[in-house]
Amino acid sequence: MIETLEIINEGGTPIARRAHIGVVASGNCELLIEPTSEPRARVLIRTSVRGYEAAWRAVIARFFERHPIAARIEIDDFGATPSVVALRLEQALEAAS
Amino acid sequence: MISDGARADRWTQRRTRKAERLARAARYVRNGRFAASDAVAVLEAILEPRDRVCVEGNNQKQADFLSRSLALVDPSRIHDLHLLISVLGRPEHIDLFERGIAQRVDFSFSGPQSLRLAQLVADEKVQIGAIHTYLELFARYFVDLTPQIALVTADAADGFGNLYTGANTEETPTIVEATAFRDGIVIAQVNEIRDELPRVDIPGSWIDLVVVADRPYAIEPLFTRDPELIDDVQVLMAMLVIRGVYEKHRIKRLNHGIGFDTAAIELLLPTYGESLGLRGEICTHWALNPHPTLIPAIERGWVESVHCFGGELGMERYVAARSDVFFTGSDGSLRSNRAMCQTAGLYANDCFVGSTLQIDRDANSSTATLGRIAGFGGAPNLGNDPHGRRHPSPTWLAMASGDAEIRRGRKVVVQLVQTFRESGVPTFVERLDAVELARSAKLDLPPVMIYGDDVTHVVTEEGIAYLYKAEGVDDRRAALAAIAGVTPVGMLRDSDRTVALRRSGVVAYPEDLGVRRTEASRSLLAARTMRDLVEWSGGLYEPPARFRSW
């Protein structure tokens, strides 16, 4: 059963380019980051692991606190820990800057 | 003047009792040897209730024939033994208590039996004297826990009872020394009798009885880590350690704890470390088991010497072929020694890097979890700052704080952890499970592996907390929170304070150290598979079957 979670962060500076990071593997996640015309970041998470909404929200809030960007981010999660998700987000941003 | 025999005997009673015990077993013994089929009878003849019995249970090899035999003695004759053992790792070790043969235990580590041990405590079938670090337990063998009987293991014996321990000498000489020189009885199980030994590791005059075991002693390849299972987060943490700890403090003499986190560092030395121009500048001298993941660094000329606690299955030929690096005997094979290597790690190393399961906000760490009594092994010894150290080194001096006339250096003690373990369990917690475990298992103290005041650095995928630089408890806690991610401890992070801590160098994030997260990928590993390790070794490394997919 796939759970979908959308998190929006208002404001932020646009990113330069599209980037694709991560792998489809257990304990990992795949992440796509794209420029957007909207003045906000929109994160769409698809995960098969339920019950971690609070952790997802905390990781994403941390990320935008550090990097206020406007972008569209899609994450396909395969049971990644918050540590892996945080790394993938940072990697995606480095690649998209 | 002491002249009459009766009075002289008063001072040699231990020797007399030893002779009596051996005499009881004499009918089973020929030329210092007895048959495997008589092992239980010999133990029943020699042992007495309440004896202190040291069973050689090392981290790697186990005197399993003798421990299996001990578990078969008649509990109505032999009972209430006090078991002394480093690693309470085999099922029959627990059987000793379930059958009432043993009643009390002093030990270091119980890994695979940690669940059953906790159950024994709950059932009041065992009394735990204390849980020790290895060197501490060995030390007590020479003070208040000297064994009456030691059951040890070796690769081979000759006709004189000399022992050859091969690559896995581990703690045999230490146990034998404590027992033999205090009129205890030493029984050695061997895999075989040879006319001539490749070398003598323990002289025959220290050994009382030898038995050829029913099968070669049990041994586990505990320190083999398949590079295939190292992930990108571990690569990032390894980069942080190399830049933010090893390069920064010029760490040359060190030990790595067991695990994939440290294996990643070893595999990054010849790639990432090389790109930073650090060969010869860091990681030259090691107190370490023969980790297969160190092979690429050795082959690239990074490593000057490695002294080993024990051997590692499959590494025998490689080690023998690299005797410039490893400590080897005249026969060419590895000579390991746990007591010596723990001493080296304590006094001669400048740095310890280890992982753990839980860390609290004061950086106390523990591998204890509820319902399991796992113990420590060597980490508390390797991961503490020895206040008896007097010789300086650049690293040790760099850790000194203040500018008082009288001051001391400090060992670098690094805890390397991901903020979350697999399946989303946080590593950073408000309270260690060890606290509750101490209560339920009736331990005097919570089993803390490394106390926070010994920890100088905590490294996570978020960054490094340079705790040794923090001024006061509040700063330490803030620094730890700054790298603890979204764990309960990390949620206490204060953004303004984190900025200040980064500015003063108490906290560093990857960008502060020039570490690019996009580079943190498995492609940086010098070996990505077991097969790569075999290739690096020129075919000398022979991984056990379970690690081979080909």
Residue B16 lies in a domain: no
- Which residues in A27-41 are b (16+ Cβ under 10 Å) and which e? ebbbbbbeebeeeeb
Which residues of chain B have a CB within 8 Å of the CB of A60? none
The tokens describing B14, both together, are 């231990």
Q: pLDDT tens, A42-86? A: 999 999 887 788 889 999 999 999 899 999 999 999 989 888 999
Comparing CB atoms, the residue among A28, A55, A87 nearest residue B236 is A87
What is the CATH classification number for the domain harbouring A83? 3.30.230
Which residues face B253 on adjacent strands?
B285
Asked if the Cβ–Cβ distance from B518 to A62 is below 8 Å, we say no
Which residues of chain B have a CB within 8 Å of the CB of A90? 510, 517
Pairing of strands A69-70, A13-14: parallel
Which residues of chain B have a CB within 8 Å of the CB of A87? 232-233, 236, 461, 517, 520
B344, B480: one domain: yes
B228, B421, B518, B519, best to mutate vs chain A, most A CBs in 10 Å: B518
The tokens describing B263, both together, are 């294996």
B490: burial class by Cβ within 10 Å (0-12, 13-18, 19+)? buried
Quickly list H helices, B327-412: 338-343, 379-382, 394-398
B174, B235: one domain: no
Asked if the Cβ–Cβ distance from B420 to A83 is below 8 Å, we say yes
CA distance A55 to chain B (A): 7
B528 part of contact set with chain A, CB < 8 Å? no
pLDDT of residue B210: 98
Contact (Cβ atoms closer than 8 angstroms) between residue B86 and residue B58: yes
- Which residues in B378-390 are b (16+ Cβ under 10 Å) and which e? bbbbbbbbbeebe
B510 Cβ neighbours under 8 A, 6+ residues apart: A90, B236, B239, B240, B463, B516, B517
B445, B504: one domain: yes
Mean pLDDT of chain A: 92
What is chain B's pLDDT, residue by residue, as a tens digit (550 residues)? 555 555 668 899 999 999 999 999 999 999 999 999 999 999 999 999 999 999 999 999 999 999 999 999 999 999 999 999 999 999 999 999 999 999 999 999 998 899 999 999 989 999 999 999 999 999 999 999 999 999 999 999 999 999 999 999 999 999 999 999 999 999 999 999 999 999 999 999 999 999 999 999 999 999 999 999 999 999 999 999 999 999 999 999 999 999 999 999 999 999 999 999 999 999 999 999 999 999 999 999 999 999 999 999 999 999 999 999 999 999 999 999 999 999 999 999 999 999 999 999 999 999 888 888 888 899 999 999 999 999 999 999 999 877 889 989 999 999 999 999 887 899 999 999 999 989 888 889 999 999 999 999 999 999 999 999 999 999 999 999 999 999 999 999 999 999 999 999 999 999 999 999 989 999 999 999 999 999 999 999 999 999 998 8
Closest alpha carbon to B93 in B76, B124, B122, B114: B114
Asked if the Cβ–Cβ distance from A59 to B485 is below 8 Å, we say yes
Residue B361 lies in a domain: yes
Q: How far is CA A93 from the centre of its chain?
A: 10
Comparing CB atoms, the residue among A27, A49, A83 nearest residue B485 is A83
pLDDT of residue B403: 82
B124, B253: one domain: no
Asked if the Cβ–Cβ distance from B424 to A84 is below 8 Å, we say no
The tokens describing B537, both together, are 């070794």
CA distance A5 to chain B (A): 18
Ramachandran angles phi, psi of B497, nearest 5°? -65, -35
Rounded distance between C-alpha atoms, residue B240 and residue B508, angstroms: 9
Asked if the Cβ–Cβ distance from A94 to B424 is below 8 Å, we say no
User: pTM of the entire structure?
Assistant: 0.95
The tokens describing A12, both together, are 């932020």
Contact (Cβ atoms closer than 8 angstroms) between residue B188 and residue B153: yes
Residue B276 lies in a domain: yes
What is the count of structural domains for chain B? 2
Rounded distance between C-alpha atoms, residue B377 and residue B381, angstroms: 9
Which residue numbers of A have CB closer than 8 Å to B's CBs?
A: 27-28, 49, 52, 55, 58-59, 62, 65, 79, 81-84, 86-87, 90-91, 94-95
Rounded distance between C-alpha atoms, residue B450 and residue B377, angstroms: 12
State ipTM: 0.89
Quickly list H helices, B450-542: 472-482, 495-503, 530-536
Asked if the Cβ–Cβ distance from A27 to B495 is below 8 Å, we say no
What is the CATH classification number for the domain harbouring B296? 3.40.1080.10
Which residues of chain B have a CB within 8 Å of the CB of A31? none
Which residues face B105 on adjacent strands?
B83, B128
What is the count of structural domains for chain A? 1
pLDDT of residue B454: 96
B265, B189: one domain: no
Which residues of chain A have a CB within 8 Å of the CB of B510? 90
Asked if the Cβ–Cβ distance from B231 to A84 is below 8 Å, we say yes
Residue B239 lies in a domain: yes
B390, B500: one domain: yes
B187, B235: one domain: no
Q: Determine how many CB atoms are found less than 10 A away from the CB of residue B355.
A: 23
Residue-number span of the structural domain to which A80 is assigned? 3-96
Choosing from B166, B185, B219, the residue where a domain stops is B219
In the numeric block, the tokens 């075999």 are attached to B534
Of chain B residues 182-241, which have a CB less than 8 A from chain A?
Answer: 231-233, 236
CA distance A34 to chain B (A): 17
Residue-number span of the structural domain to which B154 is assigned? 32-219
B233, B423, B521, best to mutate vs chain A, most A CBs in 10 Å: B233
B249, B204: one domain: no
In the numeric block, the tokens 């405590």 are attached to B121
B167, B243: one domain: no
